[in-house]
């Protein structure tokens, strides 16, 4: 791509997707060593699409019999510490064997880069309007980059994102890989949108519960269990918990991230503060073109 920032990204094109050296290395390790179990549940997403939120929602939905709202595991454990991301190389395969079933993992790998052995697991994918993803990702990566790399301007990040050259990108191919698989195999892959989670969180929790084989009962509905899960996992609640505000989240040897950086605004449409009309038109045009005929749409606000 014709932009200066490109040279500082250090990405490799691997089977059509862009990965950093460490993430590529760990992908090869996972292919070599990871053994999935038929009860495994994977949470997949393109970076900055709502992974942290999805982790909290899935964990609290599955474990709703074990905790009460006032005394919940999520109050003193960050979502990322509860659900490991398999993309991080130091999560060596043997680390996972002691986890009790169903084991929960997350990944940012596009479906073609997940080892074939994972195809038997249940998987929940969350996607988000690429304009909000781009803004969220640029701000997030800028904080990480600032340590050892020169800053990447928003214009450069925009250009690179549009041509697909972005960690785990191209964004559109990533989303489509899971979308198509979810159409073919709706019992195995649940496809969610950040925007629908924001607008109808209770409906999403019911959907998740049913998909994970623990449908919400009438009794639970009467007790307001769904509302409690939504409240527990809300941006307001999670971002104000001490456990998510202080300290560093370690992703194996790959990445250290300030925990608070996973919580920024948590809204739909913040792209309006960053993208010009021209940029919006360009990115929406790419989305229309790439998603044409797939049945997948984003409602732009």
Residue positions annotated with a catalytic role:
108
Contact residue for ligand A3P among 36, 45, 106, 107 (CB under 6 A): 45
Contact residue for ligand A3P among 18, 91, 171, 262 (CB under 6 A): 262
Min. distance of Cβ 265 from ligand A3P in angstroms? 4
Residue 121 or 141 having the CB closest to ligand A3P: 141
Under DSSP, the state recorded for 110 is -
Contact residue for ligand A3P among 27, 49, 107, 166 (CB under 6 A): 49
Contact residue for ligand A3P among 5, 18, 50, 72 (CB under 6 A): 50
Min. distance of Cβ 2 from ligand A3P in angstroms? 27
Which tokens is 164 given? Answer: 């697909």
Residues numbered 216-235 forming contacts with ligand A3P, rule: CB under 6 A: 233-235
CA 230, 176, 96, 37 dihedral sign is positive
Q: Say whether residue 201 binds ligand A3P (CB under 6 A).
A: no
Residue 35 or 202 having the CB closest to ligand A3P: 202
CB contact set of 222 (below 8 Å; sequence gap of 6+): none
58 neighbors 80 (Cβ within 8 angstroms): no
Burial class (CB in 10 A: 0-12, 13-18, 19+), 174: buried
Q: Distance of CA 106 to CAs 7, 45, 136, 233, Å?
A: 29, 8, 19, 17
Residues numbered 114-153 forming contacts with ligand A3P, rule: CB under 6 A: 132, 136
Q: Say whether residue 156 binds ligand A3P (CB under 6 A).
A: no
Contact residue for ligand A3P among 74, 123, 192, 238 (CB under 6 A): 238
Q: Say whether residue 270 binds ligand A3P (CB under 6 A).
A: yes
Please list, residue by residue across 8-22, b when 16 or more beta carbons sit within 10 angstroms of its beta carbon and e when fewer do. Answer: ebebeeeeebbbbeb
From the list 15-23, 258-266, 274-282, 286-294, the region that binds ligand A3P by CB under 6 A is 258-266
Min. distance of Cβ 36 from ligand A3P in angstroms? 22
Q: In a 3-state reduction of DSSP, which class is residue 10?
A: coil
Please list, residue by residue across 123-141, b when 16 or more beta carbons sit within 10 angstroms of its beta carbon and e when fewer do. Answer: bbbbbbbbbbbbbbbbbbb
Q: Say whether residue 78 binds ligand A3P (CB under 6 A).
A: no
Residue 92 or 200 having the CB closest to ligand A3P: 200
Q: Say whether residue 60 binds ligand A3P (CB under 6 A).
A: no
CA 17, 21, 22, 27 dihedral sign is positive
Closest residue by Cα to residue 121 from 40, 34, 222: 40
Q: Tell me which residues touch ligand A3P (CB under 6 A).
A: 45, 47-53, 132, 136, 233-235, 238, 262-266, 270
């Amino acid at each position: 791509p014709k932009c200066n920032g490109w040279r500082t990204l250090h990405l490799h094109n691997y089977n059509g997707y862009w990965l950093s050296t460490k993430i590529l290395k760990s992908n090869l390790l996972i292919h070599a060593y990871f053994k999935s179990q038929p009860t495994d549940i994977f949470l997949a997403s393109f970076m900055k699409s709502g992974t942290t939120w999805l982790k909290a929602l899935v964990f609290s939905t599955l474990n709703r019999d074990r905790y009460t709202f006032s005394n919940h595991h999520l109050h003193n454990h960050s979502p990322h510490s509860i659900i490991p991301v398999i993309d991080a190389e130091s999560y060596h395969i043997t680390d996972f064997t002691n986890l009790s079933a169903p084991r929960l993992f997350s990944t940012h790998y596009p479906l073609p880069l997940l080892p074939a052995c994972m195809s038997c697991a249940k998987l929940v994918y969350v996607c988000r309007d690429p304009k909000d993803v781009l803004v969220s990702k640029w701000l997030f990566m800028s904080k990480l980059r600032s340590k050892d790399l020169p800053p990447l301007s928003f214009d450069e990040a925009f250009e690179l994102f549009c041509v697909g050259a972005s960690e785990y990108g191209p964004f559109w191919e990533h989303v489509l890989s899971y979308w198509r698989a979810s159409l073919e195999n709706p019992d195995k892959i649940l496809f969610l949108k950040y925007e629908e989670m924001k607008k109808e969180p209770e409906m999403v929790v019911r959907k998740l519960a049913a998909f994970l084989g623990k449908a919400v009962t009438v009794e639970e509905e009467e007790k307001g269990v769904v509302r409690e899960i939504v409240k527990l996992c809300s941006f307001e609640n999670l971002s104000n918990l001490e456990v998510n505000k202080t300290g560093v989240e370690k992703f194996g040897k790959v990445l250290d991230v300030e925990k608070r950086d996973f919580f920024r605004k948590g809204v739909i449409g913040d792209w309006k503060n960053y993208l010009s009309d021209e940029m919006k038109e360009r990115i929406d045009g790419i989305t229309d073109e790439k998603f044409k005929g797939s049945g997948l749409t984003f409602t732009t606000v």
